Structure 1
């Protein structure tokens, strides 16, 4: 496991409370000294506060950067991205949200004939060179953690556009609540995207299902599609089907 991914997973583990170094070392299959170096790195960036024998989060649940999220569950995200391709037809108009799994999906679209509306700045270098993609970029305020635009300018521009499908991800997906995110700006834009698209597709690893660690929520439409990995439990699957989800399980 690379250092970037290991440190992102350390933060996720610490969100559940204080955990000591030996426990973290056993969990990630590394030495205690490696964990101490990782915790020191996170302490230097003010993400955690060191304690005797371990660490705790420095504040509330921190939002990880796009690079950190890309490092977590990389194989699962790539499998989800490939599975989602079968849901898209050439000639369609797509709205692509920000997020690491959507970014993995968007990079697979370069040889498709599509119109793409997006606030995902990380995708622009890739999609701008695709010869058969008509690209529309939503303006707005910059969210550096996700390399995306948000805010009233993005929402207002979106109100003048419609799409066949909207593709999004989230910090968490909870049956009956919807998509969990860190800010109201994010959920306002996600809600507008869902309203302007005929269909909503959510790309989320099984580890995101049932997570409710952030404060803001975007309700999902009555019918929507979830593309997830094989780690989804039977109970989670049924709970999401009960609130209108059509579930596509990606093969590893």
Structure 2
């Protein structure tokens, strides 16, 4: 593609965002018939010189239309399903028989819980849906931390939950995230889960972050921890090549791509 064609595409992308208020990466892929990495590159380039546009999770939007609120759990289950299930399956393969683990809240963690169903484990859950998914399994002992339940999301959080989770120490903690940035680290859209998420590093020997590629190069409102706290990151193959390189070489974190 020559310089003029590229310029025209970026201008067209800008007009689309202004017209529709926001675009997801999937929309850019479909509209321009390009790959996911190319679509993300278009978004990044159009953001460089346009202050009226802003990066949002898995897309681009108008500054005046940015929403910090999350979508509900049931809706999350229908987004990037195949990527999340592949990530969950790979993560489950890293868990050994007899391990003790803590599972964070979120849709990818929910799919992970389904993948460990045949294993003999002790599981601490910070999510009501995940607890219910595992409770009838005779091979898994399920412990649920006490605290407030977030309606529409099923996570257990707040200061009470933060104190309760300190009673546990496990081999592995499985963590999700709303957004991951190489410099700012892991962030969350709502403060409710933040106190519990912050404790995951302290109460585990190994911390695994499971996130689909749409969460990278994004920021949410509340900071949780730097990337340096993570031992392993598992994500899908649509993650940008530059981000892959920086995670491995600059951050020195084991990166598994499915």
TM-score range, shorter chain: 0.7 to 0.9
Listed as ranges, the matches of 1:95-244 within 5 Å are 95-212=102-219, 214-220=220-226, 221-241=228-248, 242-244=250-252
Which aligned runs of 4 or more in structure 1 are off by greater than 4 angstroms? 26-30, 55-59
CA contact (8 A) 1:223 1:244 kept: no
Where does residue 9 of structure 2 map in the other structure? none
Q: 1:247 pairs with 242, 248, 255, which one?
A: 255
Give the TM-score of the pair, scaled to structure 1: 0.75
CA contact (8 A) 1:17 1:56 kept: no
Shift of 1:180: 1.3
Shift of 1:28: 8.9
Which digits, 9 at most, give the CA deviation of each residue in 1:37-56, with x for residues without a partner?
A: xxxxxxxxxxxxxxxxxx99
CA contact (8 A) 2:68 2:189 kept: no
Q: Quote the Cα distance in structure 2 between the aligned partners of 1:114 and 1:229.
A: 26
Shift of 1:200: 0.7
Q: 1:81 pairs with 84, 88, 96, which one?
A: 88
What SS does structure 2 have at the residue aligned with 1:227?
strand
What SS does structure 1 have at the residue aligned with 2:201?
helix
Structure 1 residues 184, 133: CA separation in 2 closer, same or farther (over 3 Å shift)?
A: same
CA contact (8 A) 1:117 1:136 kept: yes
Gaps of 5+ in 1: 1-15, 31-54
Q: Quote the Cα distance in structure 2 between the aligned partners of 1:243 and 1:102.
A: 24
CA contact (8 A) 1:159 1:196 kept: yes
Q: Quote the Cα distance in structure 2 between the aligned partners of 1:195 and 1:136.
A: 18
Shift of 1:152: 1.3
Query: Is structure 2 residue 70 aligned with structure 1 residue 63?
Result: yes
Query: Is structure 2 residue 90 aligned with structure 1 residue 93?
Result: no
Structure 1 residues 58, 237: CA separation in 2 closer, same or farther (over 3 Å shift)?
A: closer
Q: Quote the Cα distance in structure 2 between the aligned partners of 1:17 and 1:218.
A: 30
CA contact (8 A) 1:63 1:145 kept: no
Structure 1 residues 116, 29: CA separation in 2 closer, same or farther (over 3 Å shift)?
A: same
Shift of 1:18: 4.4
Shift of 1:60: 3.0
Instruction: Please provide the CA RMSD for this pair.
Output: 2.7
Shift of 1:27: 5.6
What SS does structure 2 have at the residue aligned with 1:179?
strand
Which digits, 9 at most, give the CA deviation of each residue in 1:7-43, with x for residues without a partner?
A: xxxxxxxxx964439x89x76979xxxxxxxxxxxxx
CA contact (8 A) 2:73 2:106 kept: yes
Which digits, 9 at most, give the CA deviation of each residue in 1:167-211, with x for residues without a partner?
A: 011111111322110223322211111211011101111111111
